[in-house]
C-alpha cells in the first residue's frame, strides 16, 4: 500500500514466487486478495501487470477454494482488457484463464455478459475470446440454460460495428456448437444470417474441445442425415441374379481399378462443403447414399458369365488395336440390346480393362451406382487431349440420364486432386460449357461456388481464370447476389471476379437445351429457385417488434425517426423478403408517408424501396396504397425532395416494371399541379422509352387521357413534357389508339389536341416504316425518319405548345431544336460559335477542326486518335444519318445536377488545394452516367500516354462547341449546347483538375475551352449558378499566379468574360476570399489588380465597401512590392469613384499606409477632380437596382436623356445629371466614347458585347 509505485511493484514481485506453488493450504486469504484487487486498479500499469499473475498463481494453488473470490477479481480484470499494449492484455488473459480453472461456466456467465456489453470494443472482443478458451477446456458441455444464455448475448454481438468483435463472437458460437453438438444448436441458430453462419461453421470445424458432445452432429441435408444404408435396404433391392449377396450395399465397394474409392469420398464431401455455406434442399439428392447392386468380391464371376471369354481376352490384350476392337464389340452389344447385360457389370468390366479411354454407352437401366463407378475415371480424363471430348460427352449423357447435380458432386474431388494444372483448367472449361447446356435447374449452386473458390486458390493462372469464368456463368443464371458468397477471397481475386460479373451483367442466361431425368421429374427450377436456395427469404413481420408500431405513431417526431431508422436497419439486413407484408406494417408506412416532417417522408420512401427490392415483383400489389401518396410529393416546393421521389420511383420501376405504376400515375396527372405534371411526365417519358416493348395496351391505357389533358395546361414546360410523352405513347400503343382518346379530353379540348397528335404520327413505328406513307406533319418530316431520330430531335427540345388557333394552323409541331424556356438566345447578339461551326467542313469529323488550337498556336493533339475514339462521321451531308460518332455528352436532364448541387457540402464539397486520388475517383463516378465511355476513358486515362489522352479529351469537348456537330454526331448545335449546360458542373470540375497540370499546352488548351464555353453560355442567355461557380472559380483564380504572362492574361480575360454569365459582385467576393489568401505573392498581386478592374468597371456597387476595402488595405503593408502596388491601385479606383469618402470605408490603418495612399491619390488625381462627387448626386439619383445599371448611369454623358444601349429603352432610369459622371476622368474615357448620345438606342455590336462586363439579359445580377 506504499505511495511509491516502485515499492508496490517490488512487493508484488516478491509475492509472485511465493504464490507460484502447485497447491496452497486452505485458509483465509481475504486480506491478500483485497490488496491484490486494489493493485489491479493501480494507476501505474506496471504494477497491475505484476498483480495479475499473482492472482492467477493464487487461484491455481487454492483451486476450488478460490471460487469465493471470483466476484472480487473478475470485474477489474475484465475492465483492464481495454489496455492497448499487447503484453498487458496478455497478462490479464492468463489470469482470467487461471481463475476459470477454479469455477464453472455458470459462474462466468455474468462477468462475460458484462464484458460483451462493455463500451470498449477491445473488452467486448476479449470477453468473447475468454469464453471461447473456457469452452475448449471444460470437461462437460454447458446445460441448455447456459447454452441459451451465452448464445443470446453472442447473437446480439453479431451486429457490432467492429469486425474483430463480430469474429470473436462467431468463434465463441462455433466452439460452443462443437462442445454441445450441432443438433443442440440448430434450433438456436435458426434464422441466422447466412454469411455469419458460414463463418461460424468454419470455426466449428477448426475448434478442438475436451468435452464430449451429447448429440451426434447431423448431416446438413435431411436426406443425408441418415447413415450409410443398413442391411435391410440392399436386401430390398437384391437383383434377380442368383449370385449377388444382399449385404453388399452396407459397405462401399472397393475394386482394383479404384472407382469406388473415388465415389465414397465424393458422397461424403458434400456435407463438408455445406459446413462452409448453409445446407440446401436442392443438394439433397446428391447426398443420397449410393447403393451398388453387385458385390465386388463375386462380380468377376458374373462378368465371366455375361461376356464371352474371347472378348474378355481381347480387352486385356497388350495390342491397343485389339483392345479397341473389343471395346467396340461391347458397345455394339449394349446398343443392340440395352437390357441384356446390367450396366453396372459393363462399367465394372471396363473399369478394370482397358481403363477409361472410351466410354460411349447407352442404357435404359443406367443408375446412380453405375454413374458413381465411372464418373470419377472419366473426370480424370477431361484433361487428356485425346479422349477429353469423349469423356465430356459421356459425362453429359450421364447427366441427362440422372442429373447434372449428381455428376458435379462426383467430379469435384477428382478435379481437385488432379496434379496437372492444365487438366484442372480443361475440367473447369468443360463445367462451364455443360452448365450452359443444362442451366442451374436442380443444381446445388452453393456447392458449385464453394468448388470454384477452392480452384481460385490454385497457383496456375489458367485455372484461376477458368474458375472466374465459371463463376461468371453462375452469375448469369443466379444474379448478382452470389457475390456475397465470394467476397471473402483476396482483393485481387475479388477485383477479377467483379470485372467478370460486370462483363456478363448485361448478358441473358442461355436457354438450357438439356435436362436431367431426375430434374424433369422434380419440376421447378430457374433463377428464382436458385436465389431462394442461396439466400432464403425472410419474413420481415417476425423481425419487427410490436412496440415499433407504437413508436411509428408517436407524437414526438424524434421517436418516429428512431423507429424508422430501426425499420430501415431491418430492411437493409434482410435483402430477400417473403411477399407477406402484414397490414399493420402497411398501415404504419402509409401513416409515415403522410407525416408532416418531410425528412421522415424521405426515410419512409427509402424503406419502401428496400422492401420492394427485397420482395421483388410481388410488391406491386402494394403500389396502389403507397404510390398515390408518393406521387403527390412531386408537387412539393423542395427540389431535393422531388428528386428523391423520382429516384424512389425509378428503383420501384426497376423491381416491379413500369406497367403497375402507370395507373396511379394517370390519376396523379389529373391534378392541376404544374410541378407534379412536369416532373412526372418527364420521368414517364424516359421510362417508357426503356420499357416500350414490355408494356401492354391495357397497362398504358390509364395514362393516355391524362397526358392528353396536360397538352392544355397553362404551363409551357408541362405542355412540352406532355408532347414528348404523347410521342412515346404513340410509339408504344400506336397512333390510332391515342387518336381515338382525343375526344375524351376535358373542357372540349379535342380541337386543340388533335392537331398536335396528328403532328406526332411519325412516332408510330408501323406508320413511319410503311412505304410511301408520309405523316401529315407541318414540319415536313420525311417518311423514312427513324423513330430514334425523331425522338432525339423533336420531343425533348420542342418549344412550349400554345393551345389554340396557332396550334391548329401549324399542325401543333413546334420547331425542333428550340432551347428551353429561360435559355433562349438573345436576338441582338450574333453567335460567334455558330459562325465557327459553319466554317468547318462537314467531313472534318474532329481531326482538323479550326478552333482552340488555331487560337493558341497549338495543333490539335492526336487528332486522328480522338476522332477515332468518338467515331466521327464521314463526309455525309449531316443530319441524323450522317452523324456516326458517339456523342461525348449523353444527357440533357438537369435534375441530376440539382441533386449534385444539394449534396455539395460537408465532406462531399468540391474543394482541395491539389487534386487527390479520391477527388478524381469521385468525379469519375459522377461523370460516368452522363458521358460516353470513350470520352470517360480519355478523361480519366491512367495509361502511359495519359497526358495525351487528357489533352485529347479537352480538345474533343472544345470541338463540340466550335465544330459542325450535326455532321459529326447528327445532332443540332442547340442540343449540344443544352447537353453542355445540363452537365456544366461536371465539365467545370474536370477543368479545375486539369488546371493543376504543369504542361503549358494543357493550360492553353483549357483556356481556349473555357473561353468557348463562356461564349456559348453567354449566347444562350445562361446564368451560372453559385454551385457551378464555386466548383471552378476558386481553382481558376489560382492561375492568376502563373509565371507565364500569356496564361495570366488569358485568365484575366476569362474572368472578365465570366461577368456576363455570373454576377460581378460574387466574382469579387470569391477573389477577395480565395485570391487574397493565397501564399503565392503573384496570385495576391494579380487578384488585387483584378479587384481594382472590377471596381473600375462596375463602381463600388460590386462589393460591400465597409468589408472589402479594409481587407484590400491590409495588403498595403505586404512585403512584396507588387502586392503593395496592387492594393494601392485597387483603393485608388474606389477613390476615383467616391472621392475622399473612401477613407471612412478603410477603417483604421497605420500612418505609414495612410501616407502611401495619400501619395498615390495625389499623383493620380485627374485635373478638375471633385473630392465629393457623390454628395450632389445622392439627392436626385434614384436608387439603382443592379450594379451594371448604376455603372452605366455614371458613364452616361450629362443631360443626355437617352437610356444606355442594350437596356431596351424601357428601363425607366434617366441619365444622371450634374457632375455625377466625373466630367474630367480619363479612366472612364473609353466608356464615354462608346456610349455617346444618339438619336436612337443602337443594337450593340459583337465588339460591344465582348467589352461589357454584365450581360444585358442577366436581370438577376444583384450588387450583393
CATH number of 1034-1165: 1.25.10.10
**Mean pLDDT across the chain:** 74
Judge whether residue 828 has pLDDT over 70: no
pLDDT in tens, 605-652: 999 999 998 888 888 888 889 999 999 999 998 889 999 999 999 999
pLDDT in tens, 52-75: 889 888 888 888 888 888 888 888
Predicted local distance difference test score (pLDDT) of residue 1173: 52
Query: Grid coordinates in use for 576?
Result: 430477400
Judge whether residue 230 has pLDDT over 90: no
Higher pLDDT, 271 or 75: 75
- Place 311 in a pLDDT band, splitting at 50, 70 and 90: low
Predicted local distance difference test score (pLDDT) of residue 615: 86
Predicted local distance difference test score (pLDDT) of residue 776: 37
Predicted local distance difference test score (pLDDT) of residue 211: 77
Among residues 1143, 1140, 1126, 1096, the alpha carbon closest in space to that of 1253 is found at 1096
Q: What is the mean pLDDT of residues 109-119?
A: 89
Q: What is the mean pLDDT of residues 542-567?
A: 89
pLDDT in tens, 1205-1242: 333 333 333 333 333 333 333 333 333 343 333 333 33
DSSP code at position 931: B
Judge whether residue 1263 has pLDDT over 80: no
Helices of type H across 616-749: 623-632, 639-656, 659-669, 674-691, 697-710, 716-733, 735-740
pLDDT in tens, 131-143: 999 988 888 888 8
* pTM of the shown model: 0.38
**Record: fold of 254-293+367-533:** 1.25.10
Judge whether residue 599 has pLDDT over 70: yes
Q: What is the mean pLDDT of residues 1137-1151?
A: 84
CA dist 191 and 174 (Å) reads 16
Contacts of 693 (CB under 8 A, 6+ apart): none
Which of 418-422, 438-442, 549-553, 1197-1201 shows the lowest per-residue confidence on average (mean pLDDT)? 1197-1201
Predicted local distance difference test score (pLDDT) of residue 852: 38
Q: List, as one string, the DSSP characters of 5-52.
A: HHHHHHHHHHHHHHH--S-------HHHHHHHHHHHT-SSHHHHHHHH
**Record: fold of 5-206:** 1.25.10
Highest averaged pLDDT of the listed ranges 338-352, 922-936, 1154-1168: 922-936
Predicted local distance difference test score (pLDDT) of residue 388: 80
Contact of 842 with 967, CB cutoff 8 Å = yes
Judge whether residue 692 has pLDDT over 80: no
Q: Where are the domains of the chain?
A: 5-206, 254-293+367-533, 540-698+710-752, 1034-1165, 1186-1264
Contacts of 1165 (CB under 8 A, 6+ apart): none
Higher pLDDT, 1158 or 831: 1158
Judge whether residue 252 has pLDDT over 50: no
CA dist 1191 and 1197 (Å) reads 12
Predicted local distance difference test score (pLDDT) of residue 559: 92
Predicted local distance difference test score (pLDDT) of residue 1256: 38
Q: What are phi and psi of 648, to 5 degrees?
A: -65, -40
Higher pLDDT, 335 or 185: 185
CA dist 61 and 600 (Å) reads 62
DSSP code at position 889: B
Judge whether residue 291 has pLDDT over 70: no
pLDDT in tens, 1097-1128: 888 888 988 888 888 988 888 888 999 899 89
pLDDT in tens, 859-892: 343 333 444 444 333 333 333 333 445 789 988 8
The residue behind cell 484463464 is 97
Q: What is the dihedral of CA 1084, 1011, 941, 1027, to 10 degrees?
A: 70
Q: Is 1259 exposed, middle or buried (0-12, 13-18, 19+ CB in 10 A)?
A: exposed
441 sits in the region (left: phi over 0; alpha: psi -120 to 50; else beta) called beta
- Is 1034-1165 the same fold as 254-293+367-533? yes
Higher pLDDT, 188 or 366: 188
**Record: fold of 540-698+710-752:** 1.25.10
Percent of the chain with pLDDT over 90: 15
Exposure letters 640-661 (e unless 16+ CB within 10 A, then b): ebbbbbbbbbebbbebbbbbbb
Predicted local distance difference test score (pLDDT) of residue 849: 35
Judge whether residue 445 has pLDDT over 60: yes
Q: What is the mean pLDDT of residues 949-963?
A: 89
Predicted local distance difference test score (pLDDT) of residue 766: 56
Contacts of 81 (CB under 8 A, 6+ apart): 89, 92, 93, 115, 122, 123, 126, 127
Higher pLDDT, 824 or 409: 409
The SS3 of residue 577 is strand
pLDDT in tens, 1001-1047: 898 999 999 999 999 999 888 999 999 999 899 999 888 888 888 89
Amino acid at each position: 500500500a506504499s505511495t511509491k509505485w516502485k515499492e508496490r511493484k517490488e512487493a508484488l514481485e516478491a509475492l509472485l514466487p511465493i504464490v507460484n506453488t502447485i497447491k496452497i493450504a486452505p485458509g483465509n486469504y481475504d486480506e491478500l486478495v483485497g490488496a491484490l484487487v486494489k493493485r489491479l486498479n493501480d494507476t501505474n500499469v506496471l504494477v497491475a501487470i505484476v498483480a495479475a499473475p499473482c492472482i492467477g498463481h493464487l487461484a491455481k494453488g487454492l483451486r476450488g477454494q478460490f471460487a469465493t473470490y471470483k466476484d472480487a477479481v473478475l470485474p477489474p480484470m475484465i475492465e483492464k482488457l481495454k489496455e492497448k499494449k499487447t503484453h498487458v492484455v496478455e497478462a490479464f488473459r492468463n489470469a482470467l484463464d487461471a481463475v476459470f480453472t477454479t469455477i464453472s461456466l455458470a459462474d462466468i456467465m455474468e462477468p462475460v455478459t458484462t464484458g460483451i456489453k462493455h463500451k470498449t470494443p477491445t473488452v467486448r472482443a476479449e470477453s468473447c475470446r475468454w469464453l471461447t478458451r473456457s469452452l475448449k477446456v471444460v470437461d462437460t458441455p454447458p446445460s441448455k440454460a447456459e447454452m441459451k444464455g451465452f448464445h443470446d448475448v453472442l447473437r446480439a454481438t453479431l451486429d457490432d460495428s467492429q469486425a474483430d468483435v463480430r469474429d470473436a463472437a462467431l468463434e465463441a458460437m462455433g466452439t460452443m456448437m462443437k462442445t454441445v453438438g450441432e443438433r443442440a444448436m440448430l434450433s438456436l441458430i435458426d434464422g441466422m444470417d447466412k454469411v455469419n453462419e458460414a463463418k461460424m461453421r468454419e470455426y466449428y470445424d477448426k475448434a478442438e474441445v475436451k468435452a464430449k458432445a451429447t448429440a451426434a452432429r447431423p448431416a446438413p441435408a435431411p436426406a443425408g442425415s441418415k447413415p450409410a444404408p443398413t442391411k435391410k435396404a440392399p436386401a430390398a433391392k437384391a437383383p434377380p441374379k442368383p449370385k449377388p449377396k444382399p449385404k453388399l450395399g452396407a459397405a462401399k465397394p472397393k475394386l482394383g481399378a479404384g472407382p469406388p474409392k473415388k465415389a465414397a469420398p465424393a458422397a461424403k464431401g458434400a456435407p463438408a462443403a455445406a459446413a462452409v455455406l448453409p445446407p440446401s434442399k436442392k443438394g439433397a439428392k446428391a447426398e443420397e447414399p449410393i447403393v451398388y447392386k453387385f458385390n465386388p468380391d463375386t462380380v468377376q464371376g458374373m462378368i465371366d458369365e455375361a461376356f464371352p471369354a474371347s472378348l474378355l481376352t481381347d480387352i486385356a490384350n497388350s495390342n491397343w488395336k485389339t483392345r479397341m476392337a473389343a471395346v467396340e464389340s461391347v458397345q455394339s452389344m449394349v446398343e443392340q440390346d440395352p437390357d441384356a447385360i446390367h450396366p453396372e457389370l459393363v462399367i465394372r468390366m471396363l473399369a478394370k480393362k482397358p481403363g477409361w479411354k472410351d466410354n460411349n454407352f447407352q442404357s435404359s437401366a443406367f443408375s446412380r451406382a453405375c454413374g458413381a463407378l465411372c464418373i470419377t475415371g472419366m473426370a480424370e480424363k477431361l484433361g487428356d487431349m485425346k479422349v477429353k471430348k469423349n469423356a465430356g460427352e459421356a459425362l453429359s449423357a450421364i447427366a441427362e440420364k440422372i442429373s447434372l447435380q449428381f455428376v458435379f458432386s462426383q467430379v469435384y474431388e477428382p478435379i481437385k486432386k488432379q496434379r496437372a494444372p492444365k487438366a484442372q483448367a480443361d475440367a473447369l472449361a468443360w463445367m462451364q460449357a455443360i452448365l450452359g447446356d443444362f442451366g442451374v435447374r436442380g443444381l446445388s449452386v452453393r456447392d458449385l461456388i464453394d468448388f470454384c473458390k477452392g480452384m481460385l486458390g490454385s497457383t496456375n493462372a489458367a485455372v484461376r481464370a477458368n474458375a472466374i469464368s465459371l463463376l461468371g456463368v453462375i452469375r448469369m443464371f443466379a444474379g448478382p447476389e452470389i457475390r456475397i458468397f465470394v467476397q471473402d477471397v483476396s482483393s485481387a481475386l475479388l477485383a477479377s471476379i467483379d470485372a467478370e460479373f460486370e462483363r456478363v451483367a448485361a448478358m441473358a442466361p442461355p436457354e438450357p437445351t438439356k435436362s436431367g431425368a431426375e430434374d424433369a421429374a422434380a419440376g421447378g427450377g430457374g433463377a428464382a429457385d436458385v436465389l431462394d436456395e442461396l439466400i432464403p427469404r425472410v419474413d420481415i413481420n417476425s423481425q419487427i417488434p410490436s412496440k415499433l408500431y407504437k413508436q411509428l405513431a408517436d407524437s414526438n417526431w424524434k421517436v418516429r425517426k428512431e423507429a424508422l431508422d430501426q425499420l430501415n436497419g431491418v430492411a437493409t439486413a434482410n435483402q430477400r423478403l417473403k411477399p407477406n407484408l402484414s397490414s399493420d406494417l402497411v398501415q404504419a408506412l402509409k401513416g409515415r408517408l403522410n407525416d408532416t416532417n418531410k425528412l421522415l417522408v424521405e426515410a419512409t420512401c427509402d424503406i419502401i424501396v428496400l422492401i420492394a427490392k427485397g420482395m421483388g415483383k410481388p410488391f406491386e400489389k402494394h403500389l396502389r396504397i403507397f404510390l398515390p401518396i408518393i406521387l403527390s410529393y412531386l408537387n412539393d416546393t423542395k427540389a431535393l425532395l422531388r428528386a428523391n421521389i423520382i429516384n424512389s420511383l425509378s428503383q420501384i420501376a426497376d423491381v416491379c416494371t413500369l406497367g403497375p405504376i402507370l395507373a396511379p400515375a394517370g390519376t396523379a396527372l389529373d391534378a392541376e399541379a404544374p410541378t407534379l405534371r412536369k416532373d412526372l411526365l418527364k420521368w414517364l417519358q424516359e421510362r417508357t422509352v426503356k420499357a416500350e416493348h414490355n408494356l401492354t395496351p391495357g397497362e398504358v391505357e390509364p395514362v393516355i387521357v391524362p397526358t392528353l389533358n396536360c397538352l392544355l395546361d397553362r404551363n409551357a414546360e408541362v405542355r412540352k413534357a406532355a408532347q414528348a410523352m404523347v410521342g412515346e405513347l404513340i410509339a408504344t400503343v400506336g397512333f390510332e389508339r391515342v387518336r381515338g382518346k382525343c375526344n375524351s379530353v376535358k373542357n372540349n379540348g379535342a380541337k386543340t389536341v388533335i392537331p398536335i397528335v396528328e403532328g406526332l404520327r411519325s412516332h408510330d413505328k408501323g406508320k413511319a416504316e410503311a412505304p410511301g406513307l408520309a405523316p401529315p406533319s407541318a414540319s415536313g418530316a420525311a417518311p423514312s425518319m427513324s423513330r430514334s431520330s425523331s425522338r432525339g430531335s423533336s420531343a425533348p427540345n420542342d418549344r412550349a405548345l400554345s393551345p389554340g388557333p396557332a396550334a391548329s394552323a401549324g399542325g401543333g409541331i413546334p420547331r425542333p431544336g428550340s432551347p428551353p424556356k429561360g435559355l433562349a438566345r438573345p436576338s441582338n447578339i450574333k453567335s460567334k460559335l455558330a459562325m465557327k461551326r459553319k466554317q468547318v467542313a462537314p467531313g472534318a469529323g474532329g481531326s482538323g477542326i479550326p478552333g482552340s488550337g488555331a487560337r493558341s498556336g497549338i495543333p490539335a493533339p492526336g487528332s486522328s486518335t480522338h476522332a477515332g475514339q468518338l467515331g466521327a462521321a464521314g463526309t455525309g451531308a449531316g443530319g441524323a444519318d450522317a452523324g456516326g460518332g458517339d456523342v461525348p455528352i449523353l444527357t440533357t436532364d438537369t435534375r441530376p445536377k440539382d441533386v449534385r448541387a444539394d449534396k455539395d457540402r460537408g465532406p462531399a464539397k468540391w474543394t482541395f488545394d491539389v487534386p487527390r486520388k479520391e477527388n478524381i475517383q469521385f468525379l469519375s463516378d459522377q461523370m460516368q452516367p452522363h458521358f460516353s465511355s470513350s470520352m470517360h476513358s480519355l478523361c480519366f486515362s491512367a495509361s502511359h500516354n495519359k497526358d495525351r489522352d487528357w489533352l485529347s479529351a479537352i480538345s474533343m469537348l472544345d470541338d463540340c462547341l466550335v465544330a459542325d456537330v450535326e455532321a459529326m454526331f447528327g445532332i443540332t448545335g442547340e442540343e449540344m449546347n443544352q447537353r453542355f449546360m445540363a452537365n456544366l458542373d461536371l465539365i467545370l470540375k474536370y477543368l479545375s483538375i486539369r488546371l493543376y497540370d504543369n504542361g503549358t499546352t494543357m493550360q492553353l488548351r483549357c483556356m481556349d475551352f473555357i473561353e468557348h464555353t463562356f461564349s456559348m453560355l453567354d449566347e444562350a442567355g445562361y446564368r451560372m449558378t453559385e454551385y457551378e461557380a464555386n466548383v471552378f472559380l476558386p481553382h481558376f483564380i489560382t492561375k492568376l499566379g502563373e509565371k507565364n504572362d500569356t496564361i495570366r492574361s488569358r485568365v484575366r480575360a476569362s474572368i472578365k468574360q465570366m461577368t456576363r454569365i455570373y454576377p460581378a459582385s460574387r466574382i469579387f467576393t470569391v477573389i477577395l476570399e480565395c485570391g487574397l489568401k493565397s501564399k503565392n505573392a503573384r496570385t495576391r498581386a494579380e487578384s488585387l489588380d483584378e479587384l481594382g478592374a472590377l471596381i473600375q468597371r462596375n463602381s463600388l456597387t460590386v462589393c460591400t465597401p465597409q468589408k472589402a476595402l479594409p481587407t484590400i488595405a491590409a495588403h498595403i503593408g505586404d512585403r512584396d512590392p507588387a502586392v503593395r502596388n496592387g492594393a494601392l491601385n485597387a483603393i485608388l479606383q474606389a477613390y476615383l469613384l467616391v472621392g475622399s469618402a473612401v477613407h471612412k470605408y478603410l477603417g483604421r490603418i497605420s500612418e505609414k499606409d495612410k501616407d502611401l495612399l495619400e501619395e498615390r491619390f495625389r499623383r493620380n488625381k485627374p485635373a478638375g477632380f471633385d473630392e465629393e462627387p457623390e454628395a450632389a448626386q445622392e439627392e436626385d439619383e434614384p436608387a439603382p437596382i443592379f450594379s451594371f445599371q448604376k455603372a452605366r448611369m455614371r458613364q452616361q454623358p450629362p443631360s443626355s436623356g437617352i437610356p444606355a444601349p442594350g437596356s431596351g429603352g424601357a428601363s425607366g432610369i434617366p441619365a444622371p445629371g450634374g457632375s455625377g459622371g466625373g466630367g474630367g476622368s480619363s479612366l472612364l474615357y473609353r466608356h464615354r466614347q462608346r456610349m455617346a448620345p444618339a438619336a436612337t438606342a443602337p443594337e450593340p455590336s459583337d465588339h460591344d458585347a465582348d467589352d461589357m462586363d454584365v450581360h444585358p439579359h442577366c436581370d438577376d445580377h444583384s450588387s450583393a
